[in-house]
Amino acid sequence: MVTTDTTRVTNGSNGTAADPGYAERKNRGRLQEIAAGKWFPPVVDHQLEREEPVLTVKNFCLWYGKAQALFDVSMKVPKSKVTALIGPSGCGKSTLLRSVNRLNDLVDSVRISGEMNLYEDSIYAKGVDVIELRKRMGMVAQKPNPFPMSIYENVIYPLRIDGVRDRRILDEVCETSLRGAALWDEAKDRLHQSALGLSGGQQQRLCVARAIASEPEMLLMDEPCSALDPIATGKIEDLIDQLRGEYTILIVTHNMQQAARVSDYTAFMYLGQLVEYGATASLFKKPQLKETEDYISGRFG
Amino acid sequence: MVWLAGGMLALCSVMIIALILLVVVRGMATFWPGAIASYHTVDGQIVTGEVTRSSTYEPRPELIDTLPPEAQERARQLLAANDGLAERVLVRTGNYELDNSHFAWVSNYTIERMEKPEWFVVMERLTWGRFYGVPTAFYVDGELVADTPADVWREFERHHGDIRKRWQQRRTLESKAIGRINHQQESARLELRGAEIAAQQARLNHGVRSEQYLQAQAVFERQQQRFNQVEAEFERRYADIREEIVALNQENERYQIRLMTVNGQEKSMGMAEVVRAYPANQLSLLGRIGVYLDRWQEFLLDDPREANSEGGVFPAIFGTVVMTLIMVVFVVPFGVLAALYLREYAKAGPLVSVIRIAVNNLAGVPSIVYGVFGLGFFCYLVGGSIDQLFFSEKLPNPTFGTGGILWASLTLALLTLPVVIVATEEALAAVPGSMREGSYASGASKWQTIQRIVLPRAMPGIMTGMILAMARGAGEVAPLMLVGAVKLAPELPIDSIAPFVHLERSFMHLGFHIYDLGFQSQNSEAAIPMVFTTTLLLILIITLLNVGAIWLRNRLRRKFVVSAV
């Protein structure tokens, strides 16, 4: 069931006759307007309001030095669902994802405004323990980034830094995580060999295993398949499918087919603004904005 | 351009290979026992000894005029046939105490005939250098036992081993046993002196009639009494040892060998004086190899003698290795931590840039400047203060307030610090950002990330810095002359006397040893081959240290081998 938030749509593109530049703007279309620096409220599917949000983003803006990368982004990421962020390169989807676990803190020049909440807990409030916060989320990076240690040590890394010493717990977590990441059968005989000897696809699944080892409330995936071949990509997609329902997943992807295949909800971003956000099935079949349709059908971007 | 670049590389390689070949060939040849040649010259002299090298020169005509008339004609013909050039050989004649020279030049136009005498024996002695002569008599307790060369030689071989063993025993007694007594005596004396100082202090601070002074004085007097007892005990033990030594000496003095030089002079000598002897022209190839290896063994394992130009270099090897290792122990943690702060914690800015430039400039400071700094700062300032605080009873004799292996190591650590910092910084910068992010995303703190991800990953690069620092430090000589390397160190920096590691002691160093041999030696002709051998040894030791470190690095690197993604 898809209902449309008509008021918002009209709000964004029609304007009033009294607006002097109205006719000209209508001709240029929404994307040109965004490029010219105008802000539009996103078109959001009603269905999302029925979901319980894990992550709530409110009026989030981000600057790299003087350049603004995110403009007033507001969205809710639903629990136990896979949410995909799509959009052309440089639209800020990765930046948004990295803002969730505050990895952007590592870049000196970053400033932000607005809010983000993980459940009820503010992410950007003063005095937040960033380390504790990051422990509640797992992250899979664009390129596989296994650590220079054994497979076993890689998986239990989050527990190691928490000071867990109990061999039984560690062994158990290692096995369940590797099984969870569909890597157990391939890796169980070489747990104590270097993780760097695994293939790229295996390394990426290892990173997934590491990300789920501490049972996070949310999984962040930043284009997890962009460095992988089609077969490895297929395996990761299958894995995401298995994790659905158990974990809340926010995934950034370049690949529209992938978003259509794996996600429940999709958010389309453009030049730092959230443009349209809705259930994947309807967004891909019948997007409410012509611009979204143009993008997913490959007419630009 | 390719030819120019390639040519330069070829030139570099040729120079390096030539240098190494020179060092290896001449260094290896030093200990080979050559044959003994006897040159009978036209003016009736006989020059006998080992030929060490030859050269071509242009003799002045007046030189020919000094020859006997019948030889002049032949000499002129010979010179004319060779465009006025003559060959000459340098013969090591030894017998310094008899003819006041170790070497003699013999020109080819003066040689009447050359022969290889059968019974010339080379004797390497503790003093006066080598002796070349024919054994003529062997005495035991003053009685003639043998008088033909073969018999004398047989007697010599029969007794020499035992005599050397007794001599070794004597030397051990002198250095170890007496050394220990001296050491205990010294510490007893220092204890007494400490009590005396305490008493003086008490009198100065509290007055002659004060309780403190009386107490301290009582302690001092008790110490004095105990010291006298201990002293008497030491005297007794010392006398015992002296007696033992005298007995050994007397036993050795029973044997005498008599040799005759080529000029008919005779010389008797005690057998203990002779380190090694061999009839050079009777040795088989195997025998020569034996002498060669024996000399190498002495070189590597023994103490030097004859102002360092003979004997071994063991203290120098030991000093070099210990100093290099202590240096590494200081420079690596220091440099790595500094680089860690610069790269991981400091915010990039003008200050960091200035510091980085300063560190790089440190690498360009002449090493002697470090030596001067080390002497002024470490030896005099730091060492002087340590002496004031902890070794006041020894003053005015310095303990740490003078050059020593600790200060030398610290000075070299300072010298090699830039190498380690630069290499470590590069290694840290090469750790991929994705790995750090992965660690942060897993909830690791900054220090956990550095400790568990960054440092292990950067370790091979850090090791490279360490290797470079070691190569630089072990070969450095100039600063060491100021801060603790000496010509002859009586004791090693690590030995069996508590507290076993004596960081305040001065030490011998191979690099300094080379300088000393080459430029400070009395008998420079004999020292030159030793310079090559010692250089070869120094290069070998540095190579060995480096190979060890490279092996360690490769083991680490294999752990972090990056697969193709």
Q: Which range has the worst mean pLDDT, A42-51, B349-358, B392-401?
A: B392-401
Report pLDDT digits (tens) over A78-107.
988 999 999 888 888 899 999 998 988 888
CA nearest B323: which of B516, B483, B544, B548? B483
Residue A148 forms contact with B (CB below 8 Å): yes
Name the strand (E) or helix (H) holding B363: none
> Which residue bears the tokens 């569909």?
A182
What's residue A14's pLDDT? 44
b/e map B150-186, b = 16+ CB within 10 Å: eebbebbeebbeebbebbeebeebeeebbbebeeebe
Residues 424 to 453 of B: which have CB under 8 A from any A CB?
432, 434-445, 448, 452-453
Q: What is the DSSP string of chain A?
A: -----HHHHHHHHT--TT-TTHHHHHHHHHHHHHHTT-----EE-GGGGGSPEEEEEEEEEEEETTEEEEEEEEEEEETTSEEEEE-STTSSHHHHHHHHTTGGGGSTTEEEEEEEEETTEESSSTT--HHHHHHTEEEE-SS----SSBHHHHHTHHHHHTT---HHHHHHHHHHHHHHTT-HHHHGGGTTSBGGGS-HHHHHHHHHHHHHHT--SEEEEESTTTTS-HHHHHHHHHHHHHHBTTBEEEEE-S-HHHHHHH-SEEEEEETTEEEEEEEHHHHHHS-SSHHHHHHHTTS--
What's residue A301's pLDDT? 56
Mutate to test the interface with B, among A95, A97, A131, A221 (most CBs of B within 10 A): A131
What's residue B562's pLDDT? 46
Of A141, A148, A161, the CB nearest to B434: A141
Of A145, A198, A220, the CB nearest to B434: A145
Residue A203 forms contact with B (CB below 8 Å): yes
Chain B contact set for A138 (CB, 8 A): 441-442
Report pLDDT digits (tens) over A163-197.
888 999 999 999 999 988 888 988 889 888 888 88
Helix (H, G, I), strand (E, B) or coil at B508: coil
Report pLDDT digits (tens) over B114-123.
888 888 888 8
What's residue B552's pLDDT? 83
Report pLDDT digits (tens) over B515-535.
888 888 777 788 888 889 999
Put simply, the answer to whether B440 touches A106 (Cβ < 8 Å) is: yes
Cis peptide before B396 (omega within 30 of 0): yes
Of B348, B442, B565, the CB nearest to A157: B442
Question: How far is residue B60 from each of residues B64, B79, B84, measured CA to CA in Å?
Answer: 7, 11, 9
**Which chain B residue lies closest to A229 (C-alpha atoms)?**
B565
Q: What is the DSSP string of B297-326?
A: HHHHHS-EETTTTEE--HHHHHHHHHHHHH
Q: What is the DSSP string of B333-352?
A: HHHHHHHHIIIIISPPSHHH
A vs B, Cβ pairs < 8 A, gives: 88
- Report percent pLDDT > 70 for chain B: 98
Euclidean distance between CA atoms A1 and A278, whole angstroms: 12
CA nearest B89: which of B102, B106, B75, B101? B106
Q: How confident is the model at residue A19 (pLDDT cuts 50, 70, 90)?
A: low
CA distance B540 to chain A (A): 34
Average pLDDT of span A42-62: 87
Cα B61 from chain centre: 45
CA nearest B162: which of B76, B80, B272, B39? B272
CA distance B465 to chain A (A): 20
> Which residue bears the tokens 């010599």?
B156
Put simply, the answer to whether B435 touches A101 (Cβ < 8 Å) is: no
Chain A contact set for B562 (CB, 8 A): 196
Residue B14 confidence (pLDDT) above 80: yes
Put simply, the answer to whether A131 touches B457 (Cβ < 8 Å) is: no
Put simply, the answer to whether B441 touches A101 (Cβ < 8 Å) is: yes
- Report percent pLDDT > 90 for chain A: 20
What's residue A21's pLDDT? 53
Residue B461 forms contact with A (CB below 8 Å): no
| Tokens found for residue B39 | 């040159």
Q: How confident is the model at residue A292 (pLDDT cuts 50, 70, 90)?
A: confident
Residue B496 forms contact with A (CB below 8 Å): no
Put simply, the answer to whether B560 touches A139 (Cβ < 8 Å) is: no
Chain B contact set for A145 (CB, 8 A): 432, 434-435, 437-438
b/e map B440-451, b = 16+ CB within 10 Å: bbbbbeeebbbe
Mutate to test the interface with B, among A129, A157, A199 (most CBs of B within 10 A): A157
What's residue A22's pLDDT? 54
Euclidean distance between CA atoms B50 and B474, whole angstroms: 35
Residue A238 confidence (pLDDT) above 70: yes
> Which residue bears the tokens 């003979």?
B310
Q: What angle do CA B158, B162, B165 make, to 5 degrees?
A: 150
Q: What is the 3-class SS of B71-109, one letter each residue?
A: HHHHHHHHHHHCCCCEEEEEEECCCHHHHCCCEEEEEHH
Of B442, B443, B565, the CB nearest to A200: B565
Mutate to test the interface with B, among A145, A202, A223 (most CBs of B within 10 A): A145
Report pLDDT digits (tens) over A239-271.
888 888 888 999 998 888 888 889 999 999 888
Question: Which residues, in sequence order, are CB contacts of A148 under 8 Å at separation 6+?
Answer: A194, A195, A196, B435, B453, B456, B457, B559, B560
Report pLDDT digits (tens) over B25-71.
998 988 888 888 889 888 888 888 888 888 888 888 888 888 888 78
**Which chain A residue lies closest to B556 (C-alpha atoms)?**
A148
> Which residue bears the tokens 């301290």?
B216
Residue A198 forms contact with B (CB below 8 Å): yes
Question: Which residues, in sequence order, are CB contacts of A115 under 8 Å at separation 6+?
Answer: A56, A57, A58, A59, A60, A122, A123, A124
**Which chain A residue lies closest to B557 (C-alpha atoms)?**
A148
Put simply, the answer to whether A147 touches B448 (Cβ < 8 Å) is: no
Euclidean distance between CA atoms B394 and A39, whole angstroms: 84
Question: Which residues, in sequence order, are CB contacts of B169 under 8 Å at separation 6+?
Answer: B248
| Tokens found for residue B515 | 């300088």
Question: Which residues, in sequence order, are CB contacts of B89 under 8 Å at separation 6+?
Answer: B39, B51, B53, B54, B105, B106, B108
Residue A4 confidence (pLDDT) above 70: no
The whole-chain average pLDDT of chain B stands at 86
Put simply, the answer to whether B438 touches A141 (Cβ < 8 Å) is: yes
> Which residue bears the tokens 């430090």?
B473
CA distance B460 to chain A (A): 12
B190 with B211: CB under 8 angstroms? no
- Report percent pLDDT > 90 for chain B: 19
Residue A205 forms contact with B (CB below 8 Å): no
A181 with A205: CB under 8 angstroms? yes
Mutate to test the interface with A, among B436, B442, B459 (most CBs of A within 10 A): B442
Average pLDDT of span A150-169: 90
Of B452, B456, B561, the CB nearest to A196: B561
Euclidean distance between CA atoms B270 and B193, whole angstroms: 44
Question: How far is residue B177 from each of residues A129, A283, B240, B500, measured CA to CA in Å?
Answer: 67, 96, 11, 16
Put simply, the answer to whether B561 touches A194 (Cβ < 8 Å) is: yes
ipTM over the 0.90 cut-off: no
Name the strand (E) or helix (H) holding B466: helix B455-474
Question: How far is the first Cα of chain B from the last one, in angstroms, to the nearest whole number?
Answer: 37
Residues 178 to 197 of A: which have CB under 8 A from any B CB?
194, 196-197
What's residue A41's pLDDT? 83
How many CB atoms lie under 10 A from the CB of residue B510?
A: 27
Q: Which range has the worst mean pLDDT, B4-18, B184-198, B260-274, B387-401?
A: B387-401
Q: How confident is the model at residue B422 (pLDDT cuts 50, 70, 90)?
A: very high
Chain A contact set for B431 (CB, 8 A): none
Put simply, the answer to whether A161 touches B442 (Cβ < 8 Å) is: yes
Q: How confident is the model at residue B559 (pLDDT cuts 50, 70, 90)?
A: low
Report pLDDT digits (tens) over B63-101.
888 888 878 888 888 888 888 888 888 888 888 888 888
Question: Which residues, in sequence order, are CB contacts of B482 under 8 Å at separation 6+?
Answer: B368, B371, B372, B374, B375, B403
Mutate to test the interface with B, among A147, A154, A194 (most CBs of B within 10 A): A147
Of A103, A137, A196, the CB nearest to B437: A103
Euclidean distance between CA atoms B129 and B523, whole angstroms: 9
CA nearest A295: which of A88, A91, A93? A88
Question: How far is residue B335 from each of residues B284, B343, B427, measured CA to CA in Å?
Answer: 56, 12, 13
**Which chain A residue lies closest to B448 (C-alpha atoms)?**
A161
Q: How confident is the model at residue A28 (pLDDT cuts 50, 70, 90)?
A: low
B323 with B408: CB under 8 angstroms? yes
Residue B565 confidence (pLDDT) above 50: no
Put simply, the answer to whether B440 touches A197 (Cβ < 8 Å) is: no
What's residue B439's pLDDT? 92
Question: How far is the first Cα of chain A from the last one, in angstroms, to the nearest whole number?
Answer: 29
Q: How confident is the model at residue B326 (pLDDT cuts 50, 70, 90)?
A: very high
Pairing relationship of beta strands B86-92 and B46-57 according to DSSP bridges: antiparallel
How many CB atoms lie under 10 A from the CB of residue B107?
A: 20
